[in-house]
Structure 1
Amino acid sequence: MINTLIRKYNSWQQYRRTYDELSRLSNRELSDLGIGRGDIDYIARSHHR
């Protein structure tokens, strides 16, 4: 049970890091990467799986 909690916490941390990093980019920078601002949550969730 502890291992599950640790894994979920680590996964959440990775999601937050990815989300925060992408959120800091300008719309122009996101566009250069082919990412829309509305895609950030999906990408962050997909990244940590």
Structure 2
Amino acid sequence: MRAQERRATRAAYIRTLNELYAMSSRELADIGLHRSDIPEVAEEAAKMQRQAA
């Protein structure tokens, strides 16, 4: 994986983490998530970003 692809993947991971951590516990529950799920969901978003590139 090239450096540019790694940066884009990492950016997608961090962006997803930030967006989900900014949500309240109630908002997370409404979409079927718990705070402990956030890193896994962010990793999945990064994988999707990597596959789309």
Q: Which amino acid aligns with 2:16?
A: T
Q: CA RMSD in A?
A: 1.0
Partners in 1 of 2:28 and 2:15 — Cα distance?
Answer: 16
Q: How many equivalent residue pairs?
A: 47
Gapped regions of structure 2 (runs ≥ 5): 48-53
TM-score (norm 2): 0.84
| Structure 1 runs of 4+ with >2 Å offset | none
Q: Sequence identity of aligned pairs in percent? A: 32
Q: TM-score, normalised by structure 1?
A: 0.90
Which structure has more RCO (C-alpha within 8 Å, separation ≥ 6)? 2
